[in-house]
A and B are shown apart, each in its own frame.
Chain A
Amino acid sequence: MASNGLIQIIPSSVVKAGTGSTATINATGKVDFVDCTSLSLENVFSSAYTNYMFTITFNAAANRDLNMRLRVSGADDAATSYNYNSCSSNGTVYSASGAVGQTFWYLASTNATWRVGATAYLSYPFAAKRTLYNVTHINDSGGALIWENCGSHGDPTSFTSVTIYSSAGGAFSGQICFYGFNE
């Protein structure tokens, strides 16, 4: 029996797109990916856990905004069910924004030089309840930027998987690890 705490999850498969892209599922569950325009991690949500965390580090050859969607039965949910609010601080500049009825949740951004690290938490994705998420991301721009996004999915549906994609279709590379909170 697994001990309490974070348990790393091995996706049953990953589904990727992108010219010349590669993806590898390591024995631990870590997924390395190169030049993907979208990346889905299949069956990372189950009845085993209520709360999940994933860490993603990535970079790209140009500006990229990464979004995420919940997924089930091999298809992304792109309905207008995603609500979120964002706040960021870059030195002394603060900003906030929010949107409801979107077709995705915002995840993180990079450009041609930044390496980005993001940590996301999701609650109830597998339960037939509204999924909750929050993500914090930082980059190594040399400044002191932090970006926090929180939100909910308006449809109380059971999801098994998640897709991360580049909003404008550009490629991104990095690694992602998924965990469940064994409570």
Chain B
Amino acid sequence: MPIEPFEITTIYPDGTSETRWSTPEEIAQREVDIAFAEQERLAKEAAQAEIIAQKESAKAKLLALGLSEEEVAAIVR
């Protein structure tokens, strides 16, 4: 998603400062970074959901083999 130009401020030890608008390159990098972060977030969520699904599947199979709920809980946390 395109983002608007943003202010960038340089601050010096004596407290003085200068403010400028972001360059097209800085805006483009910000867009890339945000898109990558969203991609990573979705990938992490999918991986986490996959792990949960696999655990549930493993629990069901162990119960079907005759293990007790307590025994299954001890194996699959």
Contacts and interface: CB of A to CB of B under 8 A. Distances in A.
B50 interface: no
Chain B, interface SS category: mixed
B34 A168 contact: yes
Q: Give the bracket for the number of chain B residues in contact with chain A.
A: 20 to 34
Given A17-B22, A78-B29, A25 B11 contact: yes
Contacts of A42: 10
Given A168-B34, A168-B37, A168-B38, A16 B29 contact: no
Contacts, number: 60
B4 to A, nearest CB: 10
Contacts of B11: 13-16, 23-25
Contacts of B32: 78, 103
Given A169-B30, A169-B34, A25 B12 contact: yes
Q: Give the bracket for the number of chain A residues in contact with chain B.
A: 20 to 34
A61 B53 CA distance: 31
B9 interface: yes
Contacts of B33: 67, 103-104, 165, 167-169
B7 A17 contact: yes
Contacts of A14: 10-11
Contacts of A27: 13
A13 B12 contact: yes
Interface string A79-103: 0000000000000100000000001
Contacts of B15: 24
**Smallest CB-CB A-B distances: 5 pairs:** A167-B37, A168-B37, A25-B13, A15-B10, A13-B12
Given A42-B10, A65-B37, 11 more contacts: A13-B10, A13-B12, A15-B10, A16-B8, A16-B11, A17-B8, A25-B13, A27-B13, A103-B32, A167-B40, A168-B33
Interface of A: 10-17, 19, 21, 23-25, 27, 37, 42, 65, 67, 76, 78, 92, 103-104, 165, 167-169
Interface of B: 3, 6-13, 15, 22, 29-30, 32-34, 36-38, 40-41, 77
25 contacts: A11-B13, A12-B12, A13-B10, A13-B11, A15-B9, A15-B11, A16-B9, A17-B7, A17-B8, A17-B9, A21-B9, A23-B9, A25-B11, A27-B13, A42-B10, A67-B33, A76-B29, A78-B29, A78-B32, A92-B77, A104-B33, A165-B33, A167-B36, A168-B37, A169-B37
